[in-house]
Amino acid sequence: MTSDRMPSTGAQRESNGHRFGPRGEQVWRNNMRARAMGARGRIRTRDWRRLLARVGYRCLRCGRHEREVGPLTIDHVMPLAAGGGNTIHDVQPLCSHCNQGKGIACTDYRIPPMHFCN
């Protein structure tokens, strides 16, 4: 039985929007990418929302508010490509400009930094 509220395919999900809104879709895409790369862990939408609220919806690198720069991106402090995990403790919110500028470097902008990068 097919429900109109629960899309059954990725194409339907994308065209109809994610059931948890844009932030939920962002987290879902991140988790799918991390799983494909073999990273351990999973980020929950509610934890990502709490983290954004805790930092005041500001990029941790440049300090600009989400209203100025658009949705903040999920940045893995230890990049997935370098063997980093995919948990809420391994990520930090950055604007897309700062995230692209960081590249695959292991840079922790959180205060206080967690210092797990070598």
pLDDT, tens digit only, all 118 positions of the chain: 444 444 444 444 444 455 667 888 999 999 999 999 999 999 999 999 999 999 999 999 999 999 999 999 999 999 999 999 999 999 999 999 999 988 888 899 987 755 555 4
Per-residue pLDDT, 19: 64
Residue 70 one-letter amino acid: G
Per-residue pLDDT, 3: 42
Per-residue pLDDT, 66: 95
Integer CA distances (angstroms), 61 to 10, 24, 84, 95, 99, in order = 33, 23, 20, 8, 9
pTM as predicted? 0.77
**Strand positions, DSSP E, 1-118:** 73-76, 91-94
Per-residue pLDDT, 79: 93
Report angle CA 108, 83, 88 to the nearest 5 degrees: 50
Q: Which CATH class is domain 19-102?
A: mainly alpha
